[in-house]
Amino acid sequence: MTTRTGVYPGTFDPITLGHMDIIARAARLVDRLVIGVTTNPSKNPMFTLEERMEMVRREVDQLEGDVRVVSFDALLMDFAEREGASMIVRGLRAVADFEYEYQMAGMNQQLNDRIETVFLMADVSLQPIASRLVKEIAMFGGDIHKFVSPAVRDEVEARVTKIGRKGS
């Protein structure tokens, strides 16, 4: 029997309730879900790769099914191939996401047409959430409890306290 493996890549800086919604739903679609935590040179992360890996592991620990958390620093399609994935899972929030993701899916198909890209819409109540905005709200002293788990909120607030709030 063939194991259906999906890869859900991201920086997860920090992991949000929107990410968790996509992860939980994707885990029901495949036999094994690999969450690929990566670095993005164009982003300025609040947390180190190791901190993000631990955060994601803790958040997905309660999920049923075979969900693994793996770091990678390579082309997504090479990583997916190494993991034996037949699909890449991507979350969509808005039209702007779709345009970017559509272009990426096309490029990825050119790199490896054996791996499909599957788009999942985030739950309507979670669609506005973006890690970038969560960090910005926290940096200005705003309440982020609606966007992340209590444990992630505590970690973000501790980091903001360590590096200093803006506007204070």
Q: Is 165 annotated as a binding residue?
A: no
Ligand-binding annotation for 93, yes or no, is yes
Name the CA radius of gyration of the chain, rounded. Answer: 16
Catalytic residue, candidates 19, 52, 135, 153: 19
Asked if residue 132 belongs to a known ligand binding site, the reply is yes
Query: Positive or negative, the Cα torsion across 44, 93, 158, 152?
Result: negative
Active-site residue (options: 4, 58, 68, 93): 93
How far, in Å, CA of 31 to CA of 54, rounded? 22
**85 carries a ligand binding annotation:** no
Is residue 127 a known part of a binding site?
yes
Task: Say if residue 10 carries a ligand binding annotation.
Answer: no
Our answer to whether residue 145 is catalytic in this structure is no
**What's at 150, amino acid-wise?**
P
Given the residues 43, 82, 146, 166, select the one marked as catalytic. 43
Q: From CA 18, how far away is CA 152, in angstroms rounded?
A: 13
> CA-CA distance, 59 to 23, in Å (whole number)?
10
Question: Tokens for 96?
Answer: 């702007």
Q: Which residues contact 89 (CB under 8 A, 6 or more apart)?
A: 6, 7, 8, 22, 26, 29, 33, 118, 120
- Which residue of the set 52, 131, 135, 153 is catalytic? 131
Q: Find out whether 12 is annotated in a ligand binding site.
A: yes
25 among known catalytic residues = no
| 126 annotated as belonging to a binding site for a ligand | yes
Check whether 101 is labelled as a binding-site residue: yes
43 is catalytic: yes
Is there a binding annotation on residue 48?
Answer: no
**Distance separating alpha carbons of residues 159 and 21, to the nearest angstrom:** 24
Q: Active-site positions?
A: 19, 43, 93, 131
What residue numbers does the annotated binding site for substrate cover? Answer: 11, 43, 76, 90
What residue numbers does the annotated binding site for ATP cover? Answer: 11-12, 19, 91-93, 101, 126-132
What residue numbers does the annotated binding site cover? Answer: 11-12, 19, 43, 76, 90-93, 101, 126-132
